[in-house]
Amino acid sequence: MKIVVLKFGGTSVGSTKKIKKVAEIIVDYKKKNYKVIVISSAMSGVTNELIKKSFEISKNFSESEHDVLVSSGEQMACSLIAGRLIHKGHKSRSWLSWQVPILTVGKHKNSRINEINRNRIIKYLKEGGIPIITGFQGVNNENRISTIGRGGSDASAIMFAKFFKAEKCIIYTDVEGVYTTDPNKLKKAKKIKIISYEEMLEMASLGAKVMQPVSIQDARLNRIDIEVKSSFIKKSGTLITKRSKIMNNKIVTGISSTQNDSKVSLIGVKDKPGVAASIFKPLSKNLINVDMVVQNISANGKETDLTFTIKAEDLSKTKKIIQENKSINYRKLLFEKGVSKISVIGVGMITTPGVTFRMFQALANKKINIQVISTSEIKISVLIDKRNTKKALIALHNEFNLDNKK
Ligand code: ADP
Ligand code: ASP
Ligand code: MG
């Protein structure tokens, strides 16, 4: 069976007009004799609206009810797509995750899909039907609806491609593919024709919203090629695939940025073994993700300064945890919301020395101060003043020759 998985993001199904367009794309694949499995997200803005409502009900809204609530956005989009296909004379129906079923493991709001029952969908495909399946969700072993993290429909599509051994897995979105940096932030951004899982994973984790990081991990693990393309413009997109398929002479493939980071500094911390652990242990217990960390060498051997970054939404919780932590001594506690993390990413930097220097020099030339640095084999991240984000993006995009067409 020649199967294609087509995933449509919130922006692609954002209005009934757009849904009519989506139905045409689906029919095109059907005409090419594919068995088409469609995964849809909620209409854009709907998930956010639902989350807002839950907060109006309670600041501590039940996590299991949160999942029931937010998963409903996908139900609406799927029935509208199926309805349009039926209107056009095709056999189609919506499938909610429990009807498939799609099975999940893990905590509410952040589960993972670990199995998809194939039988009913295969039977339906054989009957000539086009299943329109709710992304972003499944049912857990207690038969409760569970969602798989924001942007999770991408991961739903990858798992369908895996379990149904799809020939193609295509992520339709509102941009033409994966760009060297967010094309909505920098006009000069260029579409990347082909990118490795590793680079895409770093770009996504470091702020490129176009693909959800978990979906890239799953695709890499299962060796599933992903095409990312536009729902609105008929043009070739980006192929996300294994590194060995790529001939690339660029040192840096892309640049990501985030604007929702906050910086926490503890000044004059008593320097003794175990101090960092006693700061970070209660944070990790409370599921606060600590990202970049720097600790100064203590000049007098007694005191040191420690700085780290967290998501802005975790700031008030972090403040409380540190202030209530009786096992640490420090002179001053500083918090800063106005920071942004810029990262350059590329497998080319493994074999090319001097990338760090070029990055720092390009920022220095624009008088942009670097506050914190972190690196891995294929990425360098720096923390800067949020107001300099655009300036830094422009400078680095130019420095690493991303302004030029490949
Ligand atoms: P969907 O609704 O299809 O899931 P998303 O909003 O999740 O779409 O992702 C698409 C958006 O990702 C684009 O509109 C773009 O602004 C943003 N984006 C961020 N970084 C990149 C990048 N490097 N390449 C392409 N798009 C990016
Ligand atoms: N609708 C969900 C969200 O907004 C899932 C998705 O978009 O993939 O996060
Ligand atoms: Mg998305």
Closest listed residue to residue 68, CA positions, set 106, 40, 103, 97? 97
In eight-state DSSP terms, residue 348 is G
Q: Which ligand is nearest to the CA of 228?
A: 1
Q: How far apart, in whole angstroms, are the C-alpha atoms of residue 169 and residue 161?
A: 6
Q: For ligand 1, say whether the CB of 12 is within 6 Å of any of its atoms.
A: yes
Which backbone phi and psi does 130 adopt, to 5 degrees?
-110, 105
The sheet that has 145-147: what strands, in order across it?
112-116, 102-105, 137-139, 145-147
Residues of the chain whose pLDDT is less than 70? 405-406
Q: For ligand 1, say whether the CB of 135 is within 6 Å of any of its atoms.
A: no
Q: For ligand 1, say whether the CB of 13 is within 6 Å of any of its atoms.
A: no
Do 394 and 402 form a contact (C-beta atoms < 8 A)?
no
Do 171 and 228 form a contact (C-beta atoms < 8 A)?
yes
pLDDT at 406: 56
**How distant is the alpha carbon of residue 388 from its chain centre?**
23
pLDDT at 68: 98
Q: For ligand 1, say whether the CB of 199 is within 6 Å of any of its atoms.
A: no
Measure 175 CA to ligand 1 centroid, in angstroms: 7
pLDDT at 300: 73
pLDDT at 273: 83
DSSP string, 159-171: HHHHHTT-SEEEE
Measure 211 CA to ligand 3 centroid, in angstroms: 6
* Vertex 115: Cα angle to 110 and 119 (nearest 5): 140
Longest dimension (CA), the chain: 79
Which backbone phi and psi does 230 adopt, to 5 degrees?
-85, 140
Q: For ligand 1, say whether the CB of 45 is within 6 Å of any of its atoms.
A: no
Do 53 and 69 form a contact (C-beta atoms < 8 A)?
yes
Q: Residues with beta carbon inside 6 Å of ligand 2? A: 9-10, 41-42, 47, 73, 135-136, 150-153
Q: For ligand 1, say whether the CB of 80 is within 6 Å of any of its atoms.
A: no
Ligand 2 probe mutation, 12, 38, 41, 145, most atoms within 8 A of CB: 41
Ligand 2 probe mutation, 136, 148, 172, 218, most atoms within 8 A of CB: 136
Do 328 and 275 form a contact (C-beta atoms < 8 A)?
yes
Every domain range in the chain assigned CATH 3.40.1160.10: 3-174
pLDDT at 263: 95
Q: What would the two tokens of residue 230 be?
A: 């536009």
pLDDT at 276: 87
**How distant is the alpha carbon of residue 137 from its chain centre?**
16
Q: How far apart, in whole angstroms, are the C-alpha atoms of residue 22 and residue 4?
A: 15
DSSP string, 14-38: SSHHHHHHHHHHHHHHHHTT-EEEE
Q: How far apart, in whole angstroms, are the C-alpha atoms of residue 28 and residue 24?
A: 6
Every domain range in the chain assigned CATH 3.30.2130.10: 257-399
pLDDT tens track for 34-84:
999 999 999 999 999 999 999 999 999 999 999 999 999 999 999 999 999
Residue closest by Cα to atom 12 of ligand 1: 210
Q: For ligand 1, say whether the CB of 359 is within 6 Å of any of its atoms.
A: no
**Percent of the chain as helix, strand, coil, to the nearest 5:** 35, 25, 35
Ligand 1 probe mutation, 15, 173, 260, most atoms within 8 A of CB: 173
In eight-state DSSP terms, residue 187 is T
Q: For ligand 1, say whether the CB of 231 is within 6 Å of any of its atoms.
A: no
Q: What would the two tokens of residue 339 be?
A: 């920071």
Closest listed residue to residue 95, CA positions, set 113, 81, 112, 114? 81
CATH superfamily of 257-399: VC0802-like (3.30.2130.10)
CATH superfamily of 3-174: Acetylglutamate kinase-like (3.40.1160.10)
Q: Which residues, in sequence order, are bridge partners of residue 115?
A: 103
pLDDT at 152: 97
Measure 357 CA to ligand 1 centroid, in angstroms: 29
